[in-house]
Structure 1
Amino acid sequence: MSITSGQPDAFAQFLFGYGLLQGLILLRLLPWLFQQPFTATYWAFTFGIAALKTVSM
C-alpha cells in the first residue's frame, strides 16, 4: 500500500478489506482452533495472520 505516493488505488483497498474480513472470520474460529491438536496444517491459519500483518504495514 505504501509503494506509491498518495492514496492507494481502490483494488488494493478492496484486497485489504477482504483480508480484514478473513481476519475477523479467523477470530471467530479461534476457540474451535485451540481445541484441535497441533498439526502441520496450522500453517493455513498462521499464513493468513502473517499476511494481514504485513499488508497493514
Structure 2
Amino acid sequence: GFGFALRYDTPAVDAISCSVPVARLTGEHEARIVAVMREMRMKIESLLSPASGAPDWR
C-alpha cells in the first residue's frame, strides 16, 4: 500500500492511502499511483490549510 501524510497541521494527524493487490502492481503502475497521490495530497493541503479558512472538523 501507499500512504501520504497530509501536512496542513503539525504534527500531521491525517493521511490518505491506497491499497493495490501485489499481483496487479507493476513499476509503471506504482509510479502512476505515487504521482497521482502526491498531486491529490497537494490539492487537499491547499484546500484545507488554516490560511484557507477551512473549518476544523476534528
TM-score, normalised with respect to structure 2: 0.40
Greater relative contact order (Cα < 8 A, sep 6+): 1
Instruction: Looking at secondary structure, tell me which structure has more strand per residue.
Output: 2
TM-score (norm 1): 0.40
Which one has the bigger helix percentage? 1
